[in-house]
Amino acid sequence: MDPKFIIALFLIPTLLACNSMKELEKQALAYEEAGLHQDALNSYQELYERDARRSEARIAMQRNAQSMLDKHLNEMNFRYLKGDNLGAIAAFKDAEEHRERMAQLDLVLEMPTRYAAIYTGARSAHSENLFTSAKAMVKNKQFEEAEDLLYKLTRFDPTHDEAHFLWKIAELEPMYLQAQKAEQLGLYRDAYRLYSKVAQEDVQYKEAYEKQEEMKTIAAYTVAFVGLSNHFFDDASTSISRHSVKTESAFSTSIKDAILDLQDPLIRLVDRDNTEELLNEQRLALSDIFDEEEVIEAGRMLGAKYVLTGKILKYNKVTNKRCDYQIELMETSTGEIHISEIITFDRKDLDTSSDQAVEEQITLHIAKQVAAQLGAFDQFAP
């Protein structure tokens, strides 16, 4: 075989590689001249990776990477001058991300310090614009819209103390205004609860705490619970008299406990146990009271504004598991009846999976319902 031919065979791959490198170099230059700096960068990077001796490829990588950074910075400057602060901020972040990516290729890019100042100015201006808009919304009582805007602002700038303060106002002012409205309408119970919510969030907000205490003084009332006897109800037991007294006592105790469990500061339950001596002096035994006037008089003696009476109408824990319990809430100064209800427990209310005895379930169910009725009572409601 001709030696020249053998040499030519060995040179073909080298010649092809050279042609490929030249084509890639031409392509990279064309990209750069067309302003396609990312494509140019990729091509020059490929050239450099194929042959690290090509220092001109490395220089070209640096040049195109810097051009890409300058493009981001020019976009930032343009946006800022137009008043598009968010656009300027986004462009700066793009520039920073580009610098970080190029640093991974060991390319150090130059960013003049003025651009960091522009970025700071854009952030400050955007924060101020959001805050000014939120203040206007609060002033116009657009509280929900203000809260949405302030949420965005505090996410954008968590150190904006005024935004956090204004956000608190946007949350509390609607409740405060509702409390004032309730007070004007004479709904003092509602006013108390609203003022209390405000004071719990910020005890120094306007006059929330003082108003809370004022409404509490107006809206709070005393109530005495009087369990009335009914020895003729069906106890379904062997000894009606003995069991009825025991059952009535259990109901009275559970109802008073349920009222106390409400922890309602506007309801002050008069403790019957501490007034037995006074009642005995007047020859009144609450367990034997049936006359309405006597009940009201007993309430007055106890210093209660209202008397809540309870009486078992029907009670059967053995067969049909039913209880009918009658309650009345009477005002001692006028005798007016504000609540008159019959509360019922029947078989469908029974929890068969519970460890509680049937009589205990009945008693607790009735007691909670009685307490709920009293808790919903508003003496000032129309």
Is the pLDDT assigned to residue 238 strictly greater than 60?
Answer: no
Would you identify the CATH topology of the domain 127-218?
1.25.40
- Kindly tell me the burial class for residue 82, based on how many C-beta atoms sit within 10 Å of its own C-beta (0-12, 13-18, 19 or more): exposed
* Cβ(363)–Cβ(250) below 8 Å: yes
pLDDT value of residue 15: 36
**Average pLDDT of the segment spanning 125-149:** 96
Residue 98's pLDDT is: 95
Instruction: Using alpha carbons, select from 184, 119, 185, 183 the residue that is nearest to residue 195.
Output: 183
Mean pLDDT on 124-140: 96
Six token digits for residue 57: 């490829």
Q: What does the alpha-carbon distance between residue 343 and residue 326 come to, in Å, rounded to a whole number?
A: 6
Which top CATH class is 10-111?
Answer: mainly alpha
Spans of all domains in the chain: 10-111, 127-218, 220-375
220-375 adopts what CATH topology? Rossmann fold (3.40.50)
CA atoms within 13 A on the CB side of 26: 6
DSSP letters, 20-49, are HHHHHHHHHHHHHHTT-HHHHHHHHHHHHH
- Please say if the pLDDT value at position 273 is more than 90: no
Higher pLDDT, 48 or 231: 48
pLDDT tens-digit series, residues 106-128: 999 999 999 999 999 999 999 99
- Give SS3 for 350: coil
Instruction: Take residue 156 and report the two structure tokens written for it.
Output: 């954008």
Same fold, 10-111 and 220-375: no
| Amino acid code (one letter) for 295 | V
Quick one: pLDDT band at residue 347, thresholds 50, 70, 90?
Answer: confident
Spatial distance between the Cα atoms of 356 and 367, rounded to a whole number of angstroms? 15
Reported residue count of the chain is: 382
CA–CA separation, 362 vs 131, rounded Å?
Answer: 58
3-state secondary structure of 345: strand
List pLDDT tens digits, range 303-316. Answer: 899 999 999 988 88
Query: Residue 350 above 60 pLDDT?
Result: yes
Average pLDDT over residues 217-238: 75
pTM: 0.68
Q: Residue 17: which pLDDT band, with cuts at 50, 70 and 90?
A: very low
Are 243 and 317 in contact by the 8 Å Cβ rule? The answer is no
pLDDT score, position 130: 96
| Exposure class string for 245-278: b at 16+ Cβ within 10 A, else e | eebbebbbebbbebbeeeebebbebbebeebeee
